[in-house]
Amino acid sequence: MNQNKAPLYEALLTYERKKNVSFHVPGHKDGTIFDGQAKERYAAVLAMDGTEVEGLDDLHHPRGAIADAQQLAAEAFGADQTFFLVGGSTAGNLAAALSLCDAGDCIIVQRNAHKSVFNGLLLAEAHPVFVFPNVEPETGVALGLTDADVSPALQAYPDAKAVWITNPNYYGMGQDIKKIAHVCHRAGVPLIVDEAHGAHFGQSANVPVSALASGADLVVQSTHKMLTSMTMSSMLHVKGDLIPRERLAAVLAMIQSSSPSYPLMASLDVARRHLVIEGRKILYRTVERLENKREQIQSELTCLSIYGGGSHVFSRDPLKWVVTCKHPSVSGYRLLTWLQEMGCIAEMADTRNVVLVFSIDINDIYIDKLHTALLRIDETIRNSSSLEEQDIPISDTVAVFAKPGTVSEVTMSLRTSFMSTRKIVPIEQAIGCYCAEMVIPYPPGIPLLLPGESIMPHHLEAIRHIREAGGVFQGAADDEMKTIAVLSKKQL
Amino acid sequence: MNQNKAPLYEALLTYERKKNVSFHVPGHKDGTIFDGQAKERYAAVLAMDGTEVEGLDDLHHPRGAIADAQQLAAEAFGADQTFFLVGGSTAGNLAAALSLCDAGDCIIVQRNAHKSVFNGLLLAEAHPVFVFPNVEPETGVALGLTDADVSPALQAYPDAKAVWITNPNYYGMGQDIKKIAHVCHRAGVPLIVDEAHGAHFGQSANVPVSALASGADLVVQSTHKMLTSMTMSSMLHVKGDLIPRERLAAVLAMIQSSSPSYPLMASLDVARRHLVIEGRKILYRTVERLENKREQIQSELTCLSIYGGGSHVFSRDPLKWVVTCKHPSVSGYRLLTWLQEMGCIAEMADTRNVVLVFSIDINDIYIDKLHTALLRIDETIRNSSSLEEQDIPISDTVAVFAKPGTVSEVTMSLRTSFMSTRKIVPIEQAIGCYCAEMVIPYPPGIPLLLPGESIMPHHLEAIRHIREAGGVFQGAADDEMKTIAVLSKKQL
């Protein structure tokens, strides 16, 4: 296959060149009718903001340019079949759940998954069995699962339809997927990997191996996050015969727009081309430069540390820097604010860490700017008399979960809990109640509490701590978490 | 409120001006890392392809620029609250179903709805009661419902959670929503209107009144179709207290991407501004010009006719021309092809008609081009000796439904039917079986058969006719419809 081609992008250029008159949607008519002040800004993209006319194929029924573009992507990422997603990895996760699970079906799921995994399971009415991850001691964040976590769960739940893990986690830490795939396939079930943060994995020798190359059966990748497509465009890859592809295609057509955005789809096409033609080489060199720089900066820091891997993780994404302050009184939120004041916008923070995300290429000027900023923050902390250095404790408030390896069934289905009659109570009175909503510190978007989970004192402690440190909540009715929705007694 | 402002678009310009360094997603880093051949094309939009950093608010938790932009939209469209949709009207319809219906809940639904309505009901496990529409005699297409259709259904199903209609239909034909809203509210249930094709309604005195102004409680509009936002961007409007808004917001956050596209959202913001500041006036003049032109062209045509309204419809969208040939042997698909050969790309065709979609503005040159094309096609048909003029019959193959006004329950839930074990049979052997998939002539995207519906001889006749006339199918495993998935005996 000719990876120099970008069939969908080229089809849109052909569409533009034809200069036919549009008596069809969209109403901006190739960009000719548009807000005066924004017209020039949008013009080039609106000229290819097409719809399902001749030559432009149909995402939900691909036979031409979109089918070709998807096939080139499948080759580039090592899949048997690739689906372009215009609803982000959210759409991929919803579709995975709805394709693999009928109502009541058991599925083994890593507890610290993105909310879209739980939302998919909720819509599918699946019966998830949660496996709780280990915690990385230096940063205090929840890791991924290992084969030793998954094996007993598969033995305890032989009817499970699949195992669903998240790899890497939001901090770029990964586990050995090959081993997990092995235990899954020995049990005859597919391995689903939410690889939202690892679209670049396997694309150079100095980044972690990809989930597909490790034996995963269905993989969701946010192409926009670590590669170069437009935000909200992602890919879903399938390999082997354990995934019902026909049902998957039907479900994707169900949950994604029937008017998918062509600029978004074409950005996936050119992101794949860019990666294959030059991105892989650039990525290799970027990783070399970044690793050198990380070690250099680390040697100059006193109070801050940049995570460099450890015995608890199998792989580390070199395009992510997790920066932690040795003084527990300096939260990740504070670090994020300080960096922002110096013009460096981080990806996210939690109570302990701030995460910086690089891309497959980076300008030296930007690394230097970050270098300067980190040194200045380090100095500020060092000179602050009120702070005392101490070892970093494992912070329960970063990864607020049960004992690592715990396997736990939901007491009530996510769906029933979400749909049931609820009441709002002050957060202090919620201990012992069943939660009726998702409580999601955002980012990272991993629910602290799910509908149907029992509210424990350590949850309240975590909510209080996140709130005080400056964190934000999604998913709950009261975004300040002074109150919480619980199931009314009737249901319990 | 100052409708001259576009708060979200302006926030993105501010974001760009700040020139901070991005250590966050997306990986294209404000467009600096991108496929060489497409870089210039995408540059201006990538520079504002943002994410949830400071100043850019959060779609799923709006408090700043997005909240302000949504409020301006609510004012412009006459809503109490407006939600921006990045997953198209599909997302709006899925969310409406999941917000209003728990499993097993009854809901009264117009049978000729867009597939996303049925998909929403499937996901919600609702129990839809279908009401079948009347047929417009000149064009043979399925219309909307009237209060006379809805009233008996509400009496027969007093537990119904809502009434869900589509207005206008894909052909721009509308019914009197005020009367339907009245019977709904008398029964204490909300009226949901899929107004995907009517985002411009109510925006000038010479287009039909909007659903919101007619008393609808929840309205979904494809802003990209008839107004000027980017494809896949839509709005969901709510008015009054009959809609559970908190649950609606939770469901929208569930089914839409957690990485929503800012260029799409900002295009909704500027489309609203453009409409209010100058679009309304332009729209008025456009309708005047188009109506004059339609009458003029009609007077010059012998074999073709452009639909001009009739006693079966309450309103007609002047921005849509439905062109029909008086010779039944000339299908809408054939008209579409002829127009295409002359550089005029139509919106869609069915076995009888071709639909041309205008926007709020149109250049005279384009109307003239269409004028010429229609006259030439008319002449070609007139000079073809093999065609004989005759009255247009009501074409069952355009609107293949039960007797108008029929109220019908599904025999098996959409979800159960979709999830059940199925078998593939040749289409000729399917009569009498329960369908296990959606059979959707596309466009218009209105399912001919739903999962759980009994396959009748007239369905097969319609499938054959649509196939022979050149139509395309979506939703089914075999897109040529030589085979069909039916429920295996076990389920029946």
Q: Is residue A395 scored above 60 in pLDDT? A: no
Mean pLDDT in residue range A213-224: 98
Spatial separation of the C-alpha atoms in residues A321 and B353, rounded to whole Å: 59
- Interface probe with B: pick from A8, A63, A232, A280, most Cβ of B within 10 Å: A232
At how many degrees (to 10) do helices B364-383 and B280-300 cross? 20
In the structure encoding, which two tokens stand for residue B299, read together? 């007077």
> Smallest Cβ distance to B254: which of A119, A359, A479?
A119
CA atoms B332, B334, B338, B344: torsion sign? positive
Residue type, A25: V
In the structure encoding, which two tokens stand for residue A219, read together? 């993989």
Mean pLDDT in residue range B52-81: 96
pLDDT score recorded for residue A468: 84
Which of the residue ranges A232-241, B183-192, B480-489 would you say has the lowest mean pLDDT?
A: B480-489
Spatial separation of the C-alpha atoms in residues B236 and A263, rounded to whole Å: 23
pLDDT score recorded for residue B490: 46
| Structure confidence by residue, pLDDT tens digits, A352-389 | 999 999 999 999 999 999 999 999 999 999 998 766 55
In the structure encoding, which two tokens stand for residue B77, read together? 């469209």
- Interface probe with B: pick from A16, A220, A228, A321, most Cβ of B within 10 Å: A228
Spatial separation of the C-alpha atoms in residues B228 and B373, rounded to whole Å: 26
The answer to whether B424 touches B482, Cβ cutoff 8 Å, is no
- Interface probe with A: pick from B10, B41, B365, most Cβ of A within 10 Å: B41
Spatial separation of the C-alpha atoms in residues A292 and A298, rounded to whole Å: 10
In the structure encoding, which two tokens stand for residue A57, read together? 């194929």
Residue type, A427: I
C-alpha angle B265/B267/B272, rounded to 5°? 105
- At residue B235 the predicted structure's pLDDT band, cuts being 50, 70 and 90, is very high
The answer to whether B144 touches B413, Cβ cutoff 8 Å, is no
* Angstrom distances, CA of residue A121 to CA of A116, A133, A163, A319, B282: 9, 19, 13, 31, 48
Compute φ and ψ for B409, nearest 5 degrees.
-85, 155
Residue type, B32: T
Spatial separation of the C-alpha atoms in residues B61 and B465, rounded to whole Å: 49
Residue type, B77: F
Which is more confidently placed, A53 or B488? A53
**Cis omega before residue A168 (within 30°)?**
yes
In the structure encoding, which two tokens stand for residue A400, read together? 């607020």
- At residue A409 the predicted structure's pLDDT band, cuts being 50, 70 and 90, is confident
- What residue has token string 């119904």? B160
Q: Is residue B107 scored above 50 in pLDDT? A: yes
At how many degrees (to 10) do helices B147-156 and B177-186 cross? 20
pLDDT score recorded for residue B398: 62
Residue type, B187: A
In the structure encoding, which two tokens stand for residue A85, read together? 């997603």
**Cis omega before residue B318 (within 30°)?**
no
Smallest Cα distance from B148 to chain A, Å: 31
The answer to whether B266 touches B12, Cβ cutoff 8 Å, is yes
Q: What is the DSSP letter of B299?
A: H
pLDDT score recorded for residue A492: 45
pLDDT score recorded for residue B394: 46
Q: Is residue A43 scored above 70 in pLDDT? A: yes
* Angstrom distances, CA of residue A246 to CA of A68, A105, A250, A258: 18, 19, 6, 18
Spatial separation of the C-alpha atoms in residues A333 and A354, rounded to whole Å: 7
* Angstrom distances, CA of residue B119 to CA of A91, B125, B132, B255: 14, 10, 18, 12
Whether A25 sits inside 8 A of B437 (CB atoms) is no
The answer to whether B290 touches B360, Cβ cutoff 8 Å, is no
Spatial separation of the C-alpha atoms in residues B99 and B101, rounded to whole Å: 6
Q: Is A92 left (phi over 0), alpha (psi -120 to 50) or beta?
A: alpha
| Structure confidence by residue, pLDDT tens digits, B19-41 | 999 999 999 999 999 999 999 99
Compute CA B356 distance to the chain's CA centroid, rounded to the nearest angstrom: 15
Compute φ and ψ for B115, nearest 5 degrees.
-55, -30
Whether B419 sits inside 8 A of A102 (CB atoms) is yes
Q: Coil, strand, or helix at residue B138? A: coil
Q: What is the DSSP letter of A297?
A: H
> Smallest Cβ distance to A27: which of B29, B224, B256?
B224
pLDDT score recorded for residue B220: 98
Spatial separation of the C-alpha atoms in residues B324 and B141, rounded to whole Å: 11
Q: Is residue B15 scored above 50 in pLDDT? A: yes
| Structure confidence by residue, pLDDT tens digits, B168-197 | 999 999 999 999 999 999 999 999 999 999
C-alpha angle B234/B240/B241, rounded to 5°? 110
Mean pLDDT in residue range B87-113: 96
Mean pLDDT in residue range A180-192: 98
- Mean pLDDT across chain A, nearest whole number? 93
Whether A270 sits inside 8 A of B38 (CB atoms) is yes
Q: Is residue B486 scored above 60 in pLDDT? A: yes
The answer to whether B62 touches B68, Cβ cutoff 8 Å, is no
The answer to whether B414 touches B137, Cβ cutoff 8 Å, is no
Mean pLDDT in residue range A84-88: 98
Contacts of B415 in chain A (CB under 8 A): 103
Which is more confidently placed, B5 or B446? B5
Contacts of B477 in chain A (CB under 8 A): 246, 250
Spatial separation of the C-alpha atoms in residues B453 and A117, rounded to whole Å: 31
Q: Is residue B65 scored above 60 in pLDDT? A: yes
Q: Is residue A16 scored above 50 in pLDDT? A: yes
Which is more confidently placed, A108 or B327? A108
Q: Is residue B386 scored above 70 in pLDDT? A: no
| Structure confidence by residue, pLDDT tens digits, A250-298 | 999 999 999 999 999 999 999 999 999 999 999 999 999 999 999 999 9
B402, B407, B412, B414: CA torsion to nearest 10: 80
Spatial separation of the C-alpha atoms in residues A479 and B71, rounded to whole Å: 20
Q: What is the CA radius of gyration of chain A?
A: 23
* Angstrom distances, CA of residue B335 to CA of A221, B339, B344, B381: 42, 6, 11, 10
In the structure encoding, which two tokens stand for residue B416, read together? 């159960």
Smallest Cα distance from B241 to chain A, Å: 17
Residues 6+ apart with CB under 8 A from A234: A85, A87, A88, A89, A91, A92, A196, A220, A221, A222, A223, A224, A268
Which of the residue ranges A402-406, A459-463, B423-427 would you say has the lowest mean pLDDT?
A: A402-406
Whether B259 sits inside 8 A of A89 (CB atoms) is yes
Whether B266 sits inside 8 A of A38 (CB atoms) is yes
pLDDT score recorded for residue B389: 52
| Structure confidence by residue, pLDDT tens digits, A411-449 | 778 888 888 888 999 999 999 999 998 898 877 778 889
Whether B228 sits inside 8 A of A102 (CB atoms) is no
pLDDT score recorded for residue B399: 61
C-alpha angle A352/A358/A360, rounded to 5°? 155
Which of the residue ranges A300-309, A480-489, B315-324 would you say has the lowest mean pLDDT?
A: A480-489
The answer to whether B230 touches B193, Cβ cutoff 8 Å, is no
Spatial separation of the C-alpha atoms in residues A238 and A228, rounded to whole Å: 21
| Structure confidence by residue, pLDDT tens digits, B341-373 | 999 999 999 989 999 999 999 999 999 999 999
Q: What is the DSSP letter of A64?
A: S
Strands A304-306 and A234-238, by their bridges, are: unpaired
In the structure encoding, which two tokens stand for residue B328, read together? 């039944």
pLDDT score recorded for residue A389: 52
- Mean pLDDT across chain B, nearest whole number? 93
What is the number of helices (H) and of strands (E) in chain A?
A: 15, 20
